[in-house]
Structure 1
Amino acid sequence: MKVKFLGALLLTATLTFFGCDDNTGTLGIGMLPGSDGISALTTKYPVTTRSVLADSVFAKTSTGYVGRFTDPDFGYYEASFLTELNCIDNFKFPEVYDKEKKTGILTKNEVEGVRLVVFYSTWFGDSLNACRMSAYELQEPLERNRYTNIDPKEYYIKDGSSILLGRRAYTAYDTSVTDEERNATDSYGNKTYYPSITFTLDKEKYGNKWLEYAKTNPEYFENSEGFSKLFKGVYIKSDYGDGTILYVDRVDLQMKYEFYVLNDTTNIPYKAHDGTDSIATTWRTEFASTKEVIQANQFLNSAKIKERVDETDHTYIKSPAGIFTEAELPYDDIYRDLSNDTLNAVKLTFTNYNKQDSPYEFSMSAPSNVLLLRKVDFKSFFEENKLPDNITSYTVKHNNVATNQYTFNNIARLVTTCIQGKDAAMKKAKEAAGDKWNQEEWEKDWRTVYLIPVAITYDTTSSSTSQTMTGIQNDLQPGYAKLKGGPEGDVLELEVTYTTFNK
């Protein structure tokens, strides 16, 4: 499909009189006599939408999700996660105090205790819902599978058995913590209370034995790769309770030590009132889940979500790993009608229905941000950690106050890019497919875009008043919106504003 382009002088005139922005796309306009007038017109094209099951999404995140939540419309979904624990390079355990050399600090080469601590700061759902969490040791190395359909059984169950590290009952809001403890701060004003769930581990297996390994097998503690041969990680899941999802910030493996209280100057133990050396104990985080190690979330949805996908008089978007809305854009019709004109703006709006009062106390809200992305770019966009380029990918915020819509004001560059690049892309895909080539299927995918709930991060250190986007991921928090459209519902319209010559 060949396309002509507007001459530089004529383009300048068009920009001057019609105020086209940098999203203007030129489909064609050959050189015509200057006496011909230019008109700005608007036309509309129907857009077909439908719901599609997400199945799984790419989730590169350091947040772990755990719990179960049931919604009357979508059924239940369960969240659990697997994570390695990071070992800093050339890690060393604290050493036993040497009175002659005045080095070290421990009273003995032993640990007093070992615990696994799951820290979380926020949650979704009922804060007082009774739940139970289980922690398992991984028995197979965790692969870099970032998709949410990962099967934990492949990693924590071996030869039909698992290694249970512990089980703990909990509520997201711990009522046993006093207000004084909950609101306590340090000398800098930072809160010292951090909600957590603690599992007590075998101090011999996960403590003293490791101290021995530090001498006999130091390669285990050279880095995270070496440590994963000793301890492959943990699997955290909820096995009781419905109505709460915890957002886990990190998992720490902590060890308790008995140590001498030393004089900072002489490095000699202080004396207690009875004349003995002053001794104390402390917990220390030795290994933790961090961004440097592998972490994977699993989300399981009930079959009821498929019922929502099959509804035809509207569409949905739902997170996490739930439903996308798919839209087919009429590129061929636009090229047929406007190939000799200039696209100034292409507007696409998704309107969501006002939510009725839900009988469920903790209902989900509409996703705050969505991404409009070509179907053919879906996998590579998230796997390669891309940012929206306002050419083939766009983000908008939900306007829940004025219009209750997700409005993409100008996707003209998407339209022109897909029209102009179709022939080359088709040729490449056809060669790759060989005898499996299906042109009808390929063309459908080429004109299809996804509307996807996303979470966006911004640079918080910049002094500029405008925010700089630094990352975008699939939204992994509960949310949904019911949108107008669907194969048998209201027809969405693509509003195209273009300039043309009067003849």
Structure 2
Amino acid sequence: MKVKSVFAIVSCFIALAFASCDDDLNSIGGTIQPPADSISVLTDTLAIKARTISMQDSVYARTINGVLGQYEDNLFGTIKSDYLCQFYFPEGGKFQDNLVKIDSVQFAIDFNSYSGDTLAPMGLSVYEATKAIPENFYTNADPTKYIGDKPILLASEAYTISGAKVVSKTTNQREIIADLGIDFGKRIYNGWKDKKFTDNASFNSFFKGTYVTTNFGSGSLIRVLYTSIDIYYKYNDVLGNHNNTADTIRSATFSLTVTPEVMQLNHIKNKNPDELFVEGTGATYLKTPAGVYTEVTFPINKIRANMATKNFKTINTALFTLKGYTEKESTAKYELSRPTTLLLINKDSVDSFFSQRKLYDGKTTIIGTRGNNNIYNFANISSLINTYKDMNLDKDPVFAVIPVEVAYKTDANGTSYLTGVFNYLQPATSIIRNDPKNMRLELVYSKF
């Protein structure tokens, strides 16, 4: 153990950058005048235990965006995803008076990102939900029980990503369209006309939603931006010509869209190769949606014992990063993307965090973001380490590192604030270095 005298508190952070990667304690204490206010500083570097855990296709399923399709990866196995969704009836929503006829009714899926082969042929099926779509739903639940024993097929369509209609070249937004039929449009119109629904709640009782799935094909997954039902119709605009002297026929659209105000729930199936769970390979894995995550165990009891040895009371800094194993990651043409945001959370708190729609607090639930160097940086997690150190637990606590999607909202003043944290239900994978040199926790303690 080396002892150095320093004359400015900032020196402890300089020393930290050069601390060796072992379990030795390094005192880098210093003296600040007057002597009665002397501060001692200690550094500590500890290895962390980590392993890969299966999500068993079961994570809280509510999400901002749906995922549709099937994809196969040589390392990470197979992902298949489809979704249940309700449609939002907007306040004041209406058809124009004097309807003449319904021209067409379309089921539209808009997307701007995807994984896989753009030429892979896929088949789309849209079934009507005959039971209310629940608020609490996990990705391994069976969606078919919400469409009944005799499913009602509303629409079907074959598609490829490259063949989807281009909505915007600037944003790369495309659209898959399936025909719902005139009779479906009449059903919605008659329900509105007869006032069988007047608001969103009564509409979702009248029409409970849809189950959107693929019926054939493999090779691509799309991230769904919007799912909508569009009823195109004509109406008689009474005295609506240019000088208000004669009737004229006009066109209009009645649209119902999946929004955050209603339920959108993903259903996921994964086939995870056994190789992902072999320990001692120097790697752990992340796979979404609902695939695998990395579990870490922080050596809280050893930290407490090391601090007691020198009578240190406070952890000022605890640096934690996860380094991507770039050399092992796929460079295939159709490789999956990397998750950009990870949530560090106690393993026992995962279910309640998502089902109760909690927000991360930066203290015991912490976000790490991926940088250009393929490193996920959780910055200073000293608040988390201090919290569990003071609990005097018999066993070291276990934490889950889970890919998430974070939602923000901007108010009228241009200020952004956190509104939601969701399981990341888009296709993504990452390989994490799991060796003593890289899977470690760097600490700085201090005392007066």
2: CA distance, partners of 1:47 / 1:62: 33
User: Which shows bigger deviation, 352-361 or 39-48?
Assistant: 352-361
Indicate yes or no: 2:303 matched with 1:317. no
1:197 maps onto 2:206 in alignment: no
Matches within 5 A, 1:47-446: 47-55=48-56, 56-89=58-91, 91-96=93-98, 106=99, 108=100, 110-156=101-147, 158-159=148-149, 161-174=150-163, 195-204=174-183, 206-216=184-194, 218=195, 220-260=196-236, 262-263=239-240, 267-269=244-246, 278-282=248-252, 284-304=253-273, 306-313=274-281, 314-339=283-308, 340-341=311-312, 342-356=314-328, 358=330, 360-401=332-373, 404-422=374-392, 443=395
**Secondary structure of the residue that 2:354 maps to in structure 1?**
helix
CA separation of 1:380 and 1:116: change in aligned 2, threshold 3 A: same
The share of aligned pairs that are identical, in percent, is 29
Change in Cα spacing, 1:459 to 1:202, as seen in structure 2 (3 Å) is closer
2-structure distance, mates of 1:152, 1:412: 42
Higher relative contact order (CA 8 A, sep 6+): 1
Are residues 287 and 49 of structure 1, via their aligned partners in 2, closer, same or farther at CA, if it must alter by over 3 Å? same
Q: Flag the 1:194–1:416 CA change in 2: closer, same or farther, 3 A.
A: closer
- Label 1:136 to 1:394 Cα distance change in 2 as closer, same or farther (>3 A): same
Alpha-carbon shift at residue 266 of structure 1 (Å): 6.0
SS at match of 1:88: coil
Classify 1:17/1:182 alpha carbon distance in 2 versus 1 (closer, same or farther; 3 Å). closer
Gapped regions of structure 2 (runs ≥ 5): 1-5, 14-33
1:475 aligns with 2:428: no
Which string of whole-angstrom CA distances, capped at 9 and with x for unpartnered residues, describes residues 322-363 of structure 1? Answer: 111111111112112214313221222322212347473211
2:26 aligned residue: none
Q: Find the aligned partners of 2:7 and 2:315 in 1 and give their Cα distance.
A: 12
The two structures have a TM-score, normalised by structure 2, of 0.82
Does the aligned pair in 1 maintain the 2:126–2:212 contact within 8 Å? Answer: yes
Q: Quick one: which amino acid aligns to residue 429 of structure 2? A: Y
- Change in Cα spacing, 1:268 to 1:375, as seen in structure 2 (3 Å) is farther
Structure 1: stretches of 5+ with no match in the other structure:
1-13, 22-32, 97-105, 184-189, 271-277, 424-439
Larger deviation, residues 255-264 vs 70-79: 255-264
Task: Kindly tell me the number of residue pairs found equivalent between the two proteins.
Answer: 417
Between the aligned partners of 1:176 and 1:118, the Cα distance in structure 2 is 10
SS of residue paired to 2:9: helix
The separation in 1 between residues aligned to 2:192 and 2:296, in whole angstroms, is 58
| Length-normalised TM-score, structure 1 | 0.74
Name the structure with the higher helix share: 1
In the aligned structure 2, how far is the partner of 1:230 from the partner of 1:468? 35
Q: Quote the residue 1:454 is aligned against.
A: 404
Query: Partners in 1 of 2:255 and 2:37 — Cα distance?
Result: 77
Aligned AA (1:334): I
2:84 partner letter: L
Report the CA distance between 1:231 and its aligned residue.
1.6
The CA deviation at 1:91 is 4.4
Q: Is the 1:66–1:79 contact (alpha carbons within 8 Å) kept by the matching residues of 2?
A: yes
Structure 2 vs 1, CA of residues 138 and 150 (structure 1 numbering), >3 Å: closer, same or farther? same
TM-superposed deviation, 1:459: 4.9
Q: 1:38 to 1:241 in 2, by over 3 A?
A: same
Answer whether contact 1:42 1:498 (CA < 8 A) is retained. yes
1:62–1:455 CA distance, 2 compared to 1 (3 A): closer
- Stretch of structure 1 that moved more, 224-233 or 359-368: 359-368
* Cα distance in structure 1, aligned partners of 2:165 and 2:266: 30
Counterpart AA for 2:338:
A
SS in 1 for 2:345: strand
Q: Cα offset for 1:309?
A: 2.4
CA distance in 1, matches of 2:94, 2:371: 53
**CA separation of 1:258/1:390 partners in 2, compared to 1, >3 Å: closer, same or farther?**
closer
Q: Structure 1, residues 272-299: CA drift from partner, whole Å, max 9, x if none?
A: xxxxxx43444x1332222211110111
CA root-mean-square deviation? 3.3
Q: Structure 2 vs 1, CA of residues 214 and 496 (structure 1 numbering), >3 Å: closer, same or farther?
A: closer
Confirm or deny: 8 A CA contact 1:326 1:448 kept in the other structure: yes
Please report how far the alpha carbon of residue 417 of structure 1 lies from its aligned counterpart in structure 2 after TM superposition.
0.6
Report the CA distance between 1:58 and its aligned residue: 2.3
Q: Counterparts of 2:409 and 2:90 in 1: how far apart (Å)?
A: 27
